[in-house]
A and B are shown apart, each in its own frame.
Chain A
Amino acid sequence: QKEVEQNSGPLSVPEGAIASLNCTYSDRGSQSFFWYRQYSGKSPELIMSIYSNGDKEDGRFTAQLNKASQYVSLLIRDSQPSDSATYLCAVDNYGQNFVFGPGTRLSVLP
């Protein structure tokens, strides 16, 4: 079974700062990587996907992938209190489904 690891947090950052969320995975053959955001008591929602090494930017979010190091990260610029949530890293499992990490709880302090 593939493993996906994340720091559980909580990660606390002041409003306006950059939040950096990290994820490592065990299977070097993994090809597709996803970040989901989950507000307390709600269902996960997809915020970013990344398939190639390097950076992918979407608004205030940047996903970074380094397949050689088996590492994927999510940067949130100009963090807002509304970004306070749990962020789940997901890695594809032989193209059939995902393996999710345990999630990192982010708290953005006003």
Chain B
Amino acid sequence: NAGVTQTPKFRILKIGQSMTLQCAQDMNHNYMYWYRQDPGMGLKLIYYSVGAGITDKGEVPNGYNVSRSTTEDFPLRLELAAPSQTSVYFCASSFTVYEQYFGPGTRLTVT
């Protein structure tokens, strides 16, 4: 099993550009999550999904969108990138809400 995979590993965006961060898991987990982690800080939940076709906002959803058309994939869309979105983005999945498994992260810089 590959577990949770994320692409790309690194990305530099210019202000106003858009991009999609990819996340996939091969563990047949129902729950998937997107977090951001700013330097020296904890994880803030952006969006989460409890199953295909179901998504909900977390603590910091503004500036982001998600979709969940399959159990395996949970892409995160950034529209009109801003410097405040510079962060490390982690995707996670779990069979129930507990014991989340994290991907390796995407380091995003917006300049």
| Interface set of A (CB-CB < 8 Å, partner B) | 1, 4, 8, 32, 34, 42-46, 49, 88, 92, 95-103
- Our pick among B59, B97, B102 for the contact of A43 (Cβ within 8 Å) is B102
> Is B99 within 8 A of A43, CB to CB?
no
Contact between chains at A43 and B103 (CB < 8 Å): yes
* A101–B42 CB distance below 8 A: yes
Question: Which residues of chain B from 63 to 108 have any CB-CB distance to chain A below 8 Å in the complex?
Answer: 90, 97-105
- Contact present for B97 and A100 (CB under 8 Å): no
- Are A44 and B102 within 8 A (Cβ)? yes
Return B66 CB to nearest CB of chain A, in Å. 13
Would you list the 4 A-B pairs with minimal beta carbon distance, nearest first? A43-B102, A102-B42, A100-B43, A100-B42
A46:B99 contact, CB within 8 angstroms: yes
Q: How far apart sit A45 and B35, CA to CA, in the bound complex (Å)?
A: 14
**Residues of the B chain whose Cβ atoms lie less than 8 Å from the Cβ of A4:** 42
- Tally chain B residues at the interface, Cβ within 8 Å: 24
Contacts of A97 in B (CB 8 A): 31, 33, 45, 48, 58, 97
Determine the chain A residues whose CB is within 8 A of the CB of B105 once the complex forms: 43
Cβ contact within 8 Å between A44 and B43: yes
In the assembled complex, 14 residue pairs joining A and B whose CB atoms fall closer than 8 Å, in A order, are A42-B104, A43-B102, A45-B102, A46-B99, A46-B100, A88-B42, A97-B33, A97-B97, A98-B97, A99-B59, A100-B42, A100-B44, A102-B41, A102-B42
CA distance A32 to B58 in the complex (A): 18
| A96-B56 CB under 8 A given contacts A102-B41, A103-B42 | yes
With beta carbons under 8 angstroms apart, the residue of B44, B45, B98 that contacts A32 is B98
